[in-house]
Amino acid sequence: MTVTYPFSAVVGLDDLKLALVLNAVSPRVGGVLVRGEKGTAKSTIVRALAAQLPQVEVVSGCRFACDPGAPDPACPDGPHEPGEHRLRRAAALVELPVGASEDRLVGSLDVERALTEGVKAFEPGLLAAAHRGVLYVDEVNLLHDHLVDLLLDAAALGTCYVERESVSVRHAARFLLVGTMNPEEGELRPQLLDRFGLTVEVRASRDPGERAEVVRRRLAFDADPEGFAAEWAEEEARLARRIAEARARVGAVRLPDARLRQIATVCAAFEVDGLRADLVTANAAIAHAAWHGRDAVTTEDVRAAARLSLPHRRRRDPFDAPGLDEELLDELLRQTSGPDDDVPPDGGGGESPPDGTNPDISGLDPAGQERETGATEQTRPGPLAPPEQPEGPGVPTGRREDAGNGGRDADDARPEETGRRSGDGSGQVAAVAAPYRVPLLKVPGVGEGAAGRRSRSRGRHGRGIGARLPQGKAHDIHVTATLLAAAPHQARRGRTGPGLLLRQDDLRQVVREGREGNLVLFVVDASGSMAARKRMTTVKTAVLSLLLDAYQRRDKVGLVTFRGTTAEVPLPPTSSVEAGAARLRALPTGGRTPLAAGLIKAAQVLRVERLRDPARRPLLVLVTDGRATSGGDVDRAAALLHGTASVIVDCETGPVRLGLAAHLAARLQAALVPLDALSDLGSVVRAHRRAG
């Protein structure tokens, strides 16, 4: 396999190429999500693949890329007659920019023209342009959630549907969806993650030689893209032919019953939700078989498919690390590889699997690349342990200790004692128990921030609550209000026929109210006064629960901590809860309490964020017992936060209380929430869950 192999100092590159090829072979695989840090040439590789896709034949002049052999009956540019002009062109590669509007993506229906001129005017969007090609979304995790929803709906249905005020247009939109993301900049919601057929993790190689070579090639490529491409043209032509052959074959590939049961067993053992994983794995295995010229799916195909289709589906909450336990996968495949494997692996690899005991499961791409073990190399335990439940069907479970809700109740009662010393030796690290649901904390008033689920907002999204005159070009027309505005003038405008006479100034626009996500900045006291292990576990669990809540409400979150003499920002504002959870778990505690420093640092972070994302309103969540034993005047520091919506989680416990947090809350005009109130609510929720 050779897609852009000049750019190969990337760990996980072979997986990425394979995932893209499987999608090119069978559109049913459902797209690829590429997760990885910056500088891994993700987009170069995707663009290069698009160049390998077979050309498409289209009805000339059709803006919706209709196939002359089978034109879309609903095509807005149709109906197309059989004899119409046709042309061959490259499959499209359409990039969806992160800041695109909804109209840009799905197209825009000009309701204004429909009402005033009686014309159904549809301007196609990027989904139409991407039909029968690739839709590429760089940084898909930074797209607005509603755009991601539209995108994935279209990808799932193969159509784009636009409706505005009961005027609607539908057209075919089948495309290979490829997204990239840097997980450190924010996660996708799990249900959206699930909509990508395959995922691949890539990261830059740490090998200096490889890195230098790639940089050299990139420079050569950038200096002379055409000359560079010519050098690889032959390889690319070979690849394109192979993809075309596999495409022609894929419809005839058999999925033997034994292999289907194998897929079901693997998916069940990895505890994925629903049947989507089984379907994607089956389609990817079929594509993989076609890619290797086989007419029936083998265990090797199942393995290749499962490695790409399962990692993102077995995650139970955002705090689980991604990745797939490949030893478990191999064990499952070994137990279920039946007599249907009459076709031997085509064996170009020439290298035996690591343990040498299982010739059925090569784990190698036939082109001979090594299996990628980067994700598990740290934790590989050596010889494979026997399955935990030898009786019964003998299928080991894919669940890690506390991966799901099932293991959670036990953890709630007895926080796991996984505390350890921090690296710098200057503090201790308290454990974190399972998170619980917290009450809604929100910013008062009405904002205009990004769509989310926390505070009230007015904007283009949400429920319609009224109508108003548009400012500038009208969109989101409120039809009833528009008709009512026009009605009194009909006689004066000389109306005679059945239709209303509408004018521009009759148009009214919907006023919507919804919810916005906020910037939730946690400011956490990590000093010695909080550091008694039990107590810090409670505090960390509360913050983790708030963090999970922020994730579900699509907030941006940041974390400021203070202890000793200074405040730090272990997590600058981001939408990545994973990063926040990781930093929180590892957070050392101990030392004095520089409360003022923490407040000053929080004010600095908020000032920068106000510049970056002015519409997103901040909510400060200060977790403290209110004590300050070092560093600066608390009242003066608190004044810097004047006007910021704040909540203080009061961590003071014990029979004698000083009420210092309450004093601070008065200073900040903050709501005061006792720590117990957060966890009490959590235990109520858990009790309900148990009873139900």
From residue 363 to residue 402, the character string flagging contacts with Zn ion as x (rule: CB under 5 A) and all else as - is: ----------------------------------------
CA 373/CA 229 separation, integer angstroms: 31
- Structure token digits, residue 157: 């249905």
Count interface residues toward Zn ion (CB under 5 A): 6
**Burial of 335 by CB count in 10 Å (0-12 exposed, 13-18 middle, 19+ buried)?**
middle
CA distances from 330 to 255, 379, 396, 490 (A): 20, 16, 11, 75
Partners of 203 in the beta sheet?
Answer: 11
The nearest distance, CB 79 to Zn ion, in angstroms, is: 8
Contact segment (CB under 5 A) with Zn ion among 46-54, 77-85, 125-133, 505-513 equals: 77-85
Query: H or E segment at 341?
Result: none
Contact segment (CB under 5 A) with Zn ion among 72-80, 104-112, 434-442, 467-475 equals: 72-80
Non-local CB neighbours of 13 within 8 Å, separated by 6+ positions? 7, 45, 202
- Regarding 62 and contact with Zn ion (CB under 5 A), the answer is yes
Residues 234-273 that bind Zn ion (CB under 5 A): none
Cβ–Cβ under 8 Å, residues 137 and 33 = no
CB atoms within 10 A of CB 374: 14
Among 48, 66, 443, 634, binds Zn ion (CB under 5 A): 66
Among 7, 64, 122, 562, binds Zn ion (CB under 5 A): 64
Nearest CA to 437 out of 105, 211, 680, 172 is that of 680
Contact segment (CB under 5 A) with Zn ion among 45-53, 55-63, 202-210, 563-571 equals: 55-63
From residue 630 to residue 669, the character string flagging contacts with Zn ion as x (rule: CB under 5 A) and all else as - is: ----------------------------------------
Per the document, the length of the chain is: 692
Instruction: Give whichever of 66 and 286 is closer to Zn ion, judged by the CB atom.
Output: 66
To the query of whether residue 164 is one of the catalytic residues in this protein, the response is: no
**Burial of 467 by CB count in 10 Å (0-12 exposed, 13-18 middle, 19+ buried)?**
buried
Residue 135 DSSP code: E
Instruction: Give whichever of 121 and 532 is closer to Zn ion, judged by the CB atom.
Output: 121
- Given the residues 28, 170, 203, 276, the one annotated as active site: 276
Phi, psi torsion values for 424, nearest 5 degrees = -85, -5
Question: Strand, helix or coil at 482?
Answer: helix
Instruction: Give whichever of 66 and 451 is closer to Zn ion, judged by the CB atom.
Output: 66
Non-local CB neighbours of 379 within 8 Å, separated by 6+ positions? none
The nearest distance, CB 63 to Zn ion, in angstroms, is: 7
Question: Strand, helix or coil at 575?
Answer: strand
The nearest distance, CB 56 to Zn ion, in angstroms, is: 13
- Sequence letter at residue 148: V
Among 41, 45, 49, 75, binds Zn ion (CB under 5 A): 75
Among 20, 31, 58, 77, binds Zn ion (CB under 5 A): 77
CB atoms within 10 A of CB 452: 23
- Regarding 436 and contact with Zn ion (CB under 5 A), the answer is no
The nearest distance, CB 77 to Zn ion, in angstroms, is: 5
Contact segment (CB under 5 A) with Zn ion among 70-78, 340-348, 465-473, 635-643 equals: 70-78
Residue 251 DSSP code: T
Instruction: Give whichever of 70 and 656 is closer to Zn ion, judged by the CB atom.
Output: 70
Instruction: Give whichever of 62 and 140 is closer to Zn ion, judged by the CB atom.
Output: 62
- Sequence letter at residue 188: L
Partners of 557 in the beta sheet?
Answer: 520, 574
The nearest distance, CB 129 to Zn ion, in angstroms, is: 13
Instruction: Give whichever of 75 and 559 is closer to Zn ion, judged by the CB atom.
Output: 75
The nearest distance, CB 172 to Zn ion, in angstroms, is: 8
The nearest distance, CB 121 to Zn ion, in angstroms, is: 17
The nearest distance, CB 154 to Zn ion, in angstroms, is: 17
Nearest CA to 512 out of 476, 556, 473 is that of 476
Which spans of this chain sit near Zn ion (rule: CB under 5 A)? 62, 64, 66, 75, 77-78
Catalytically active residues are 276
